[in-house]
Amino acid sequence: MKRSLSSLFILLLIYSSEFAWAQNDVQVLGDAVLTPADIADGASVLYMIRFQNMGEDTAYQVVIYDTLDSRLDPSTLNMVSASHGYAFLNDGNNNLRWYFEEINLPTRSVDPAHSFGFIMFSVRPLPFIESGQVIRNRACISFDPSEHVCTNEAAVWIDAGAASTADPVSTETEYVVVPNPNYGEFIVQPTSGKAAAAEWWISDVTGKIIWDGSSTDMASVNQQVQLERPSPGLYLLWIKSEGRLQVKQFAIIR
């Protein structure tokens, strides 16, 4: 069954909105809850900022402004993907700017399929963050001088997790795409833990679902995927199992 993006973001415990062309938002992709141990091990937060020209005319310049929370380390920022060419400015004080010059972004009323864009980046929290804190992020977007909009607020929770006297070896199942990158044919397989029944789907970076399915036993049978005429680029594999949602990135090449 196809899923709306709103149900996806409810699972992520972040801002949710019905997936439509009107998109000016920031999202945390993947787990929005980290523990101090995760941070000490080098965990990153993966953000996607989407924008759409809702004005009355073509936008020739788009600028994204994002001031990172002081608990994020801007020196660890890594650009994952973007819909258009850009120039990036980081002033070293958590003030980030992406400049899309001569983007010629049509308005939604004229060409909805080409009126939007996105950026995706990862950044690490600073070490020694205590549990109970919340890292928040909000971006603002200008479409030429005539229009300026700000997004929702995306949150990442720092949680110590439940104490346990059980065996500390993790039983959570991790999944990988093999090979990565690939040509549109690959296998989804577990690498650790005890694989259980799972729902899983594949989307492009705009959130459009291009494949979905389910399995009653992810461990016993490799899940073969063959996408029909996929465009080269970055894709996301989403796996929901036992109340936990994982997101894995993979690339398709020619």
Counts for the chain of helices (H) and strands (E), in that order: 2, 19
Q: What pLDDT band is residue 21 in, cutting at 50, 70 and 90?
A: very low
Give the max Cα distance, the chain. 61
pTM of the predicted structure, to 2 decimals? 0.62
Position with higher pLDDT, 173 vs 141: 141
Question: Which of 13-22, 73-82, 103-112, 197-206 shows the lowest mean pLDDT across its residues?
Answer: 13-22
Mean pLDDT of the region 147-174: 69
Burial of 168 (0-12, 13-18, 19+ CB in 10 A): exposed
Question: Which of 9-13, 51-55, 160-164, 203-207 shows the lowest mean pLDDT across its residues?
Answer: 9-13
Q: What pLDDT band is residue 217 in, cutting at 50, 70 and 90?
A: low
In the predicted model, what is the mean pLDDT of the chain? 79
Burial of 68 (0-12, 13-18, 19+ CB in 10 A): buried
Asked whether the domain spanning 174-252 has the same topology as the one spanning 22-158, the reply is: yes
pLDDT at 89 over 90: yes
Question: Which of 24-28, 66-70, 177-181 shows the lowest mean pLDDT across its residues?
Answer: 177-181
What is the predicted pLDDT for the residue at 10? 33
Q: What pLDDT band is residue 9 in, cutting at 50, 70 and 90?
A: very low
What span, in angstroms and rounded, lies between the C-alpha atoms of 35 and 64? 29
Q: Is 22-158 CATH 3.40.50.300?
A: no
pLDDT at 119 over 80: yes
174-252 adopts what CATH topology?
A: Immunoglobulin-like (2.60.40)
Boundaries of every domain in the chain: 22-158, 174-252
Q: Which helix (H) or strand (E) holds 6?
A: helix 5-11
